[in-house]
Structure 1
Amino acid sequence: MCEELEYAELLDRAADTEDPYERMAIMAAFVISGYSSTYYRAGSKPFNPLLGETYECVREDKGMCFIAEQVSHHPPISACHADSNKFTFLQDVRWKNKFWGKSMEILPIGTVNVMLPGFGDHYEWNKVTTCVHNILSGRRWIEHYGEITIRNTKSSACICKLTFVKGNYWSSTVNEVQGFVMDQEGKVVRRLFGKWHEGLYCGVPPSARCIWKAMGSMPTDYELYYGFTRFAIELNELCPEMQDLLPPTDARFRPDQRHLEEGNVEMAASEKQRIEDLQRTRRKWQEENGIKHEPRFFKKVVDANQRERWVTNNTYWELRKSPGFINMENPNLW
């Protein structure tokens, strides 16, 4: 989830943009940019988060603090919250999978939210379907398709509609995105087009202007390192000065993940099995003793539309500061 903030500077730009139509177009660029890191990921399956697993990211260069937690196991739900001086970003992620023989569809459920306090804006949008093709043989590739509607729930000035075009690997429309910003009278005030792994443009070719462009080069040997972008590689760094600040539930401490990063595939597989067995044993003990898991840093709420959502309980950063996680009792996940 933190990878979706690789281009968080777009939110800073939106927060500094007075025109509501242009602000919405920049928000559209941010929404699309969140898919760009998946382009080289078709060959790799991520680790399943453990119940209670957390992850923090403090990026002074982006002026941003991020926290995520796996709040539910059945169904699997991950919640996150990010703050900066200019924006707040939050979502809880849940999904359904569909297998179609040679491909697998991932259908996300729920919405993503961004607040820009400078304008009192609250943007909300859905996610599109993701499909991994050729999962059994051949060259795997990822496709995103469907429609996204971005609304500002605090203003009716405009909405944005984006279409992630469904194509095929050799099609000229592969990864194509089309869209528009429409005012409250239904008039199109911005036309948008581009590709989710390359960039987004506003206007009509050839005079269209670029709103967002993906980072150019990938890291050296990126194919050996699971298709990670430079930003993704940085996310798992564990500096000595961080060790006493992070809770032991932070994903950086996962031994299976760490072994895999170091190239020890056999040890990673062994540790993964041990950790998953430990989780099953822990869950069985809780069920037998009538103990219900309670997330530490997020709480479930019902919003104005009667939808269940997970939001921060605003305790993580305070506990990190005092008494500090190293001085607290913490669950042993691995």
Structure 2
Amino acid sequence: MAQNQGGDAAGSSGGGGGFFKSIASGFSSFKNQVHGLLGYEGLEVINPEGGTEDAEVEAQRGRWKQEERDSYWRSMQKYVGADITSMVTLPVLIFEPMTMLQKMAELMEYSHLLELADECEDPYMRLVYTASWFISVYYALQRTWKPFNPILGETYEMVNHCGITLIAEQVSHHPPISAAHAENEHFVYDITSKVKTKFLGNSLDVYPLGRTRLKLKKDGVILDLVPPPTKVNNLIFGRTWIDSPGEMILTNLTTGDKVVLYFQPCGWFGAGRYEVDGYVYNSDEEPKILMTGKWNESMSYQPCDLEGEPLPNTQLKEVWRVAEAPADDKFQYTHFAHKVNSFTTAPKKLFPSDSRLRPDRYALEMGDLSKAGSEKSILEEKQRAEKRIRESKSQEFVPKWFDQTDQIASTPWGELEIYEYNGKYTKHRAAADSSGTVEEVDITKTEFNPWQFGNVAETS
């Protein structure tokens, strides 16, 4: 596995499966084999296991047929170096039957860690639990299928899991911004998320512009997260795989304590892949607890001295382990991912704007790629039509459950407009839950409707 150590575009994001450069002559031969196969100078195929014995076989792997790869590359090569977050129409072949809003909800799978954090008296162990919670979602993020981009005004609701009520909403289309709020008796979680990308030909850098706030209710401490960037390798040629090299920083804004964890980049022959190491620091930046593990497997911790060495008579203890997943699942879903997609986690009187009701998502879930593609195109055209109506009326889109603030947050990858939860959903949900009416949702009969001006007619 090659890691780019130079200063070119492929390496500017901080690593994560860069181009084959400055390597031994044997591996240079491998590089030439790949170029000869592809016919496109500059595209690299990177084996996630690090093998180099057969470049042609590796390049032919993946979900694309040869003619599809050629056609897709011809249409995409003009975007090299650009942010393609919402400017490119992608084929449903590479999608999973879930939206970005639902993917945000997958963080709730291991919410028991937040219960432990909230009840914990040790401020450093509290950070061990919360950092492990944030790491736990990376097992889901390693899936190589792309979630659907939410339609403006689309929502996702989740209840019936550990007492959590979650609402997510697509609050902006250009730039694409999602906001979510989740809460139970132990915590309050709020996030504004704006993804920024850089297309590099056969790979994609993903920069997580976002502001995350986690409040633990017992002591009222507030935590802030800065996650590492992500790199999607082998988009067109070879087996697609994902790496997230870089630092995750979780800061207790109340006390100044923090966790700094380093996600190792995948090295030659897969060395270091999935590994995470770092420390919990006090406000004086002295290490108190070391943390180590793999983001797709488990995390452990051990008290340490000021040099970062384990304290005598202490042992490494496991704090989190990934739950058993279904075998041979088509979309690499966990049991919880299936739960997120089902109506068992849906509340009474589900909004017609809910992601579960999207016809393109449902068609893909049923295995009908042709219908999924046509339904996706219809939704996208309706979104464009509604934008024209909004502009003709000189109106701005106004989210229902989140308010745009005048705050602009600085992130390592750019500035972010902040949306805050306005509390209206809590009142709505309380009223709906107290009503005696139970409305069963039939996905085949309930029309998806996130539209501000009603279900706009399909138009050119």
Same fold (TM over 0.5): yes
* Preserved CA contact (<8 Å) 2:159 2:346: no
CA separation in 2, counterparts of 1:235 and 1:310?
24
| Amino acid corresponding to residue 48 of structure 1 in structure 2 | N
Q: How does 1:35-54 map to 2 (within 5 A)?
A: 35-39=138-142, 41-42=143-144, 44-54=145-155
CA separation in 1, counterparts of 2:277 and 2:179?
29
State the partner residue of 1:232.
Answer: 337
CA separation in 1, counterparts of 2:192 and 2:259?
22
State the partner residue of 2:230.
Answer: 130
What TM-score does the superposition give when structure 1 sets the normalisation length?
A: 0.90
State the partner residue of 1:58.
Answer: 159
Structure that is richer in helix per residue = 2
State the partner residue of 2:365.
Answer: 261
Question: How much has 1:237 moved relative to structure 2?
Answer: 1.1
After alignment, is 158-167 or 10-19 more displaced?
158-167
Question: How much has 1:220 moved relative to structure 2?
Answer: 3.8
For residue 110 of structure 2, give the secondary structure of its aligned residue in structure 1. coil
CA separation in 2, counterparts of 1:104 and 1:115?
33
Q: Could you list the runs of 4 or more consecutive aligned residues of structure 1 that deviate by over 6 angstroms after TM superposition?
A: 304-307, 323-326
CA separation in 2, counterparts of 1:297 and 1:198?
35
* Preserved CA contact (<8 Å) 2:300 2:320: yes
Question: How much has 1:302 moved relative to structure 2?
Answer: 4.1
Report sequence identity in percent.
Answer: 33
For residue 258 of structure 1, give the secondary structure of its aligned residue in structure 2. helix
For residue 246 of structure 2, give the secondary structure of its aligned residue in structure 1. strand
State the partner residue of 1:200.
Answer: 299
State the partner residue of 1:177.
Answer: 276
Question: How much has 1:173 moved relative to structure 2?
Answer: 0.4
Question: How much has 1:185 moved relative to structure 2?
Answer: 2.7
Question: Which of 201, 206, 221 matches 2:328?
Answer: 221
Aligned residues: 324
Question: Which of 122, 125, 130 matches 1:22?
Answer: 125
State the partner residue of 1:316.
Answer: 425
Give per-residue Cα distances to partners, 1:132-177, cap 9 Å, x unaligned: 1011111111111111211111113x21111111124732200111
* Preserved CA contact (<8 Å) 2:118 2:218: yes
* Preserved CA contact (<8 Å) 1:159 1:181: yes
CA separation in 1, counterparts of 2:202 and 2:268?
14
| Amino acid corresponding to residue 227 of structure 1 in structure 2 | Q
Give per-residue Cα distances to partners, 1:74-112, cap 9 Å, x unaligned: 000000000000001110110211122221010011221
Q: How does 1:1-334 map to 2 (within 5 A)?
A: 1-39=104-142, 41-42=143-144, 44-60=145-161, 62-156=162-256, 158-168=257-267, 170-203=269-302, 207-216=315-324, 218-222=325-329, 224=330, 226-238=331-343, 245-302=349-406, 308-322=417-431, 331=451, 332=454
What TM-score does the superposition give when structure 2 sets the normalisation length?
A: 0.66
Aligned Cα root-mean-square deviation (Å): 2.5
CA separation in 2, counterparts of 1:179 and 1:14?
19
Give per-residue Cα distances to partners, 1:254-278, cap 9 Å, x unaligned: 1111111111221111111111111
* Preserved CA contact (<8 Å) 2:247 2:263: yes
| Amino acid corresponding to residue 298 of structure 1 in structure 2 | F
* Preserved CA contact (<8 Å) 1:275 1:333: no
Structure that is richer in strand per residue = 1
For residue 28 of structure 1, give the secondary structure of its aligned residue in structure 2. helix
Question: How much has 1:69 moved relative to structure 2?
Answer: 0.1
Question: How much has 1:333 moved relative to structure 2?
Answer: 5.7
Give the 3 Å change call, closer, same or farther, for CA 305–71 of structure 1 in structure 2.
Answer: closer
Larger Rg: 2
| Amino acid corresponding to residue 420 of structure 2 in structure 1 | V
Give the 3 Å change call, closer, same or farther, for CA 242–110 of structure 1 in structure 2.
Answer: closer
| Amino acid corresponding to residue 423 of structure 2 in structure 1 | N
